[in-house]
Each structure stands twice: as structure tokens, then as C-alpha cells.
Amino acid sequence: MFESAEIGHAIDDETYEAALPELREALLEAQIDLHEQAGRQIIVLINGIEGAGKGETVKLLSEWMDPRLIEVRTFDQQTDEELAHPPAWRYWRQLPAKGRMGIFFGNWYSQMLQGRVHGRFKDAVLDQAISGAERLEKMLCDEGALIFKFWFHLSKKQMKLRLKTLKDDPLHSWRISPLDWQ
């Protein structure tokens, strides 16, 4: 399904290094403008395949932008307290204030993606989860939030290579689970 996401574009290191200062400055200026307007919250949803560079990208954003205005949130297994509330509750509590940016790993799409991929969700449950996500996003956008969604993808070949590299590195092997190999 995601093979079409492989666009095959690349730039050489020299071109990248030449463009980098201008891009970093433009990104920082955009962040400052949004903060000064203080009317919008920025919500960045990060999803994708393990080893595709999600963490590295967020690290770069934190270096390139003003980290005082960025809140990075990670969501793993739901707690008992979270399970006792509506599904969106765990995310709603972590939303950034207006004028700030929230980067969400393990956001409201993660559970439905994992449930679908691993066969835990039937179509009706998936449809209900998607409907809930759409309602949450509409409510946020109606309040002025900007939502950016990013999917990080790798080819199967590249994914296996990166997983093996992570598995063989004692500092990063903890990041790999048996599900990542499926």
C-alpha cells in the first residue's frame, strides 16, 4: 500500500548544506510569527514505521526551532486511568496552549493503525475510531488549531536494514520489539 509513498527524491550533501541555513531561518521565523499571533496552537502528529527517522526529525526540529515553544508528547500503552475515560481524553490533556506547538508521538492514529495492521480491529471498530479522530480534529480546527500529519515510511528492504542496525546497537536495541519485524 505505501510503496507509492516512495518518491525517490534525494539531494546531494552539498545542496542540502547550502539550503539548510535559509530553511532553518524560515522555520524559526514561522514559529515566532505563530507564537506572536497566539491565536493558534500547532499540533504535529508523527506516525510511521520504526526506524524511519521520526525521532531524529523531532530532534532536528527542537534544535532548529525555539524549544521553549515546543512540547513533545509520547503515548504508549494506555494506563488504567486513561482506559476509564473517552479515547480522546489522554490526548486532550496534553494539547499545547495557543501560540505553542505540540509534537505527538503515539497519537490518536497509532492505536487504530496498530489494531488494523495486527488484525485486532474489525472494520466496525476501525470505522468508529476513525470517526472519533475526525470529530476530535474538527473540534480542534474549529478552535483555530493547525494540525500537521506526517507519515514516515521505509521500503521493506530499508526497514529490515535499519532494524538490524538498531538491534545490533546496545544503546538502541531497546527500541525494537518483535512486532517491528512483522
- The pLDDT tens digits for 67-87 are 999 999 998 888 999 999 998
Q: Is position 15 within any domain?
A: yes
Q: Is position 4 within any domain?
A: no
Q: What is the pTM of this model?
A: 0.80
Residue with more model confidence, 51 or 95: 95
Q: What is the total count of domains within the chain?
A: 1
- What's the confidence (pLDDT) of residue 39? 75
**Which CATH number does the domain housing residue 143 bear?**
3.40.50.300
Buried (b) or exposed (e) across 141-170, using 16+ Cβ within 10 A? Answer: eeeebeeeeeebbbeeeebeebbeebeeee
Mean of the pLDDT values across residues 116-136?
A: 87
Distance (Å) of CA 31 to CA 38, 101, 115: 11, 8, 34
Q: Is position 3 within any domain?
A: no
- What's the confidence (pLDDT) of residue 6? 59
Q: Please, what is the Cα angle at 46 between 159 and 153, to 5 degrees?
A: 25
Q: Is position 21 within any domain?
A: yes
pLDDT 10s digits, 11-37: 899 999 999 999 999 999 999 988 888
Q: Is position 181 within any domain?
A: no
Mean of the pLDDT values across residues 90-106?
A: 92
Q: Is position 92 within any domain?
A: yes
pLDDT 10s digits, 54-63: 888 999 988 8
Confidence of residue 9 (pLDDT cuts 50, 70, 90): confident
Q: Is position 1 within any domain?
A: no
Structural domain boundaries enclosing 67: 9-175
Q: Is position 64 within any domain?
A: yes
Stretch (H or E) spanning 152: strand 146-152
Does residue 5 carry a pLDDT above 60? no
